[in-house]
Amino acid sequence: MFAFMNSISFIRASLRTGSRATRSLTTSSVAPSLPAVLRLQTGEVFEGRSFGAPRSVFGETVFTTSITSYPESLTDPSYTGQLLAFTQPMIGNYGVPDNRMKGSAREHPLDVDVGCFLESTGVQAAGVIVSELCERFSHFQAYESLASWCARYQVPGIQGVDTRALTTILRNQGSTLGTILVGEDAKRIPTASEFVDPNAENLVKRVSTKVPYTLEPVGGAAASRAHVALLDFGCKANILRSLLRQRVTVTVLPWNTDFNSIRDQFDGLFLSNGPGSPNKVPEAVANVKRVIDEWDRPIFGICMGHQVIGLAAGLRAYRMKFGNRGHNQPVLALGSGNMRVEPGRVYITSQNHGYALAFEESGPDAWPEGWAPWFVNANDWSIEGIVRTGDFDGRAPVWGVQFHPEHAGGPEDTNPLFEDYVEQVVQYKSARSPSLAAQATRSPSAMATAHL
């Protein structure tokens, strides 16, 4: 039955990929499963069997409550340096798609090739922890198994772990440094000096693009409504897709670009997500502070980008006990932010962060003048959004959100934030160049219909 299901999956996948119909489902050569252990710095040990790359690795042990979308989670650059434990008991049942395909899983008519099908070109997590690995995968887009995929990117995994017990430990004592030890290594006890915290380094530098590049929407430059610059702190591909679907040109820049020297070439600035601590990117904070103080065009940040905006505004970022990771985090809107946000409504969001912006009514962490909290987490009341308030006096409107409105996977409650941000970019552009107003107002929905 399984062989028959996979044959049908292959036929359907071949029909979908046109000229790539000669490809085949694959499970690349995978090393045999070996004894493996997960050791936490605090002494707890979980025994299991290896999958993926037969090598040992150290990192920060974190968990995600996501039920689906393990390929998207593992390719999210925000998981760089982390040993990612899935609370969902079975992982791998629908395999992994061919990450070289164009577009995205949503098959949006305004999607263009951003270089990968998932969130980045490779597996970003340092290691993978699961309760049960499903090697008999079945899905019409499946290209290979989770084990062979991890092996290709030299990422080790461990299966057979009691992830319920592990998650309880991490919730009680917080995210903890750990190691996956494979084969003969599983017998040894690491020294304290081997448990190096990845957040102590600038992880953004590791994952950010090294050279600028530009992406055009469907229809090319002639169809573009505006030109947005994106500072890449470890950008998920679906952020790029979400902007391009709004018919804007996006130029992706390295994280430490001196944006102020080139800012007038662009109509807006977007700050992406990324791994690690925002306190490790002071150059970016200084650059963004000057942009916020001087520029007159819209700025939006997600996750790490949100935290960088907060630091630039004068707030402090702190390390959370175990962070918020999953597709089911509720956030309460405190205001509209001049967008389609209903004050008092709870939105369900996708999140992945271990740091947050501090807030107190008074004292050193009091909210700076001219800024307001936009969203708060309904579970732990951490800050989930920031917005500039009052009369901007020729300066930029600024928004930041800790969660991921581009989801992939996850709920779509906050998708409209991309459309609302781009509409603000277009309005500010039109105010500077009234002759461009008519071209800029043609809606993306009309463009999508034209390309169906």
Q: What is the largest CA-CA distance in the chain?
A: 71
407 has catalytic annotation: no
303 has catalytic annotation: yes
Residue 426 in tokens: 């277009």
For residue 132, the SS3 value is strand
Contact assessment for residue 169 and residue 44, using Cβ atoms and an 8 Å cutoff:
yes
Residue tagged active-site, from 306, 327, 404, 407: 404
342 has catalytic annotation: no
Dihedral (Cα; 102, 107, 109, 113), 10-degree rounding = -20
Our measurement of the distance from residue 80's CA atom to the centroid of its chain's CA atoms, rounded to an integer in Å, reads 11
Cα 16 from Cα 129, distance rounded (Å): 32
Give strand ranges (E) for 142-276.
142-144, 156-159, 176-182, 213-215, 227-232, 249-254, 268-271
What residues are paired with 39 via a beta bridge?
45, 179
Reference 232, options 374, 340, 373, 78; nearest CA is 78
Our measurement of the distance from residue 358's CA atom to the centroid of its chain's CA atoms, rounded to an integer in Å, reads 22
User: How many other β-carbons are positioned within 10 Å of the β-carbon of residue 414?
Assistant: 25
Reference 94, options 13, 188, 203; nearest CA is 13
Burial class (CB in 10 A: 0-12, 13-18, 19+), 204: buried
Residue tagged active-site, from 406, 407, 419, 423: 406
Residue 110 in tokens: 């305004």
Residue tagged active-site, from 134, 150, 235, 303: 303
Burial class (CB in 10 A: 0-12, 13-18, 19+), 451: exposed
Give strand ranges (E) for 339-441.
346-357, 371-373, 375-377, 385-388, 398-401
- Catalytic residue numbers read 303, 404, 406
